[in-house]
Amino acid sequence: MDKIYLNGLQFYGYHGALKEENTLGQTFIVDLVLELDLKAAGVNDNLKATVHYGHVYETVKTVVEGKQLKLIEAVAERVSDQVLQAFPLIQQLTIKVIKPNPPIPGHYESVAVEMTRGRESN
């Protein structure tokens, strides 16, 4: 299967289990790998045969900057669901949601979750 990569999408949201996260908010970074057949798009140079990256970005933004959730697992699940619903050419996607500055004791570069979802698993 062919792949489209959207790396390092940055958003500001209010997700987290701690009250401070819900009040102050923080940056979230999302990486996506979209799997679909890109042959027709490549041969015909036709945008309708692929996925518009800007529209995918806006779909992700709506979720990450939208309804407050406790877990980044829930953020990833909602983004996956919305992207698969909005873009029927995508057969499967892998999403990574990164929280660069987790408010937990210790020294961390980031924490993240990654999941793969497809049409068969919905």
pLDDT < 50 positions in the chain: 121-122
Tokens standing for 10?
A: 């940055």
Using one digit for the tens of pLDDT, what is the confidence trace for 66-94?
999 999 999 999 999 999 999 999 999 99
pLDDT value of position 100: 94
User: Minimal CA–CA distance to 60: which of 5, 7, 11, 119?
Assistant: 11
pLDDT value of position 122: 45
pLDDT value of position 35: 98
pLDDT value of position 1: 93
- Count: domains in the chain: 1
User: Minimal CA–CA distance to 113: which of 101, 92, 98?
Assistant: 98
Could you list the residue range(s) of the whole structural domain that residue 78 is in? 2-121
Cβ atoms within 10 A of the Cβ of 62, count?
Answer: 15
DSSP summary character for residue 32: E
Write out the catalytic residue numbers.
Answer: 99
Helix (H, G, I), strand (E, B) or coil at 21: helix
pLDDT value of position 102: 84
pTM recorded for the entire structure? 0.93
CATH code of the domain containing 77: 3.30.1130.10
